[in-house]
């Protein structure tokens, strides 16, 4: 059983930046999709950004131009650089690995991912 481990969350003011990291200890070479999802206060879980082994990416409309997803294939690590953060970005961010789903639709189908981390909290104050 693979347990992704997120880090890098915290509290920032609007306009600030954070970089989230996700380690996947024990996970073998990835041939599929990884991604970030989040759940804000009183909101449903939503896809934030996904990436496949060809480094093709997709982003939620709300974060385009502000967030950048990347990966280190040598360590199967995933990253999310979050810039110009807004209060509506507040929430718990989850790393998802082993996505048996093409990146083009992965944001809308979290059930396509087999391994999930416990999440890391991000709080953005106005």
Give the pLDDT confidence of 30-46 residue by residue, as tens digits: 657 999 999 999 999 99
Give the pLDDT confidence of 68-113 residue by residue, as tens digits: 999 998 888 999 999 999 999 999 999 999 888 899 999 999 999 9
Q: What is the pLDDT of residue 100?
A: 86
User: What's the mean pLDDT when you consider all of the chain?
Assistant: 93
Instruction: Give the C-alpha separation, 34 to 13, whole Å.
Output: 28
Which burial class, exposed, middle or buried, applies to 27 when counting CB atoms under 10 A from its CB (0-12, 13-18, 19+)?
Answer: middle
Q: What is the pLDDT of residue 30?
A: 60
Tell me if 65 sits within 8 A of 83, measured CB to CB.
no
Q: What is the pLDDT of residue 48?
A: 98
Q: What is the pLDDT of residue 126?
A: 96
Query: pLDDT at residue 28 above 90?
Result: no
């Amino acid at each position: 059983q693979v347990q992704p481990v997120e880090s890098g969350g915290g509290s920032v003011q609007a306009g600030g930046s954070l970089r989230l990291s996700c380690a996947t200890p024990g996970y073998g070479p990835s041939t599929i999709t990884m991604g970030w999802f989040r759940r804000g206060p009183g909101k449903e879980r939503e896809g934030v950004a996904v990436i496949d082994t060809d480094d093709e990416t997709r982003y939620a409309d709300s974060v385009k131009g502000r967030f950048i997803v990347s990966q280190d294939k040598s360590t199967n690590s995933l990253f999310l650089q979050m810039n110009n953060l807004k209060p509506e970005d507040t929430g718990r961010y989850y790393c998802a690995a082993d996505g048996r789903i093409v990146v083009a639709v992965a944001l809308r189908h979290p059930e396509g991912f087999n391994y999930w981390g416990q999440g890391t909290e991000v709080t953005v104050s106005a």
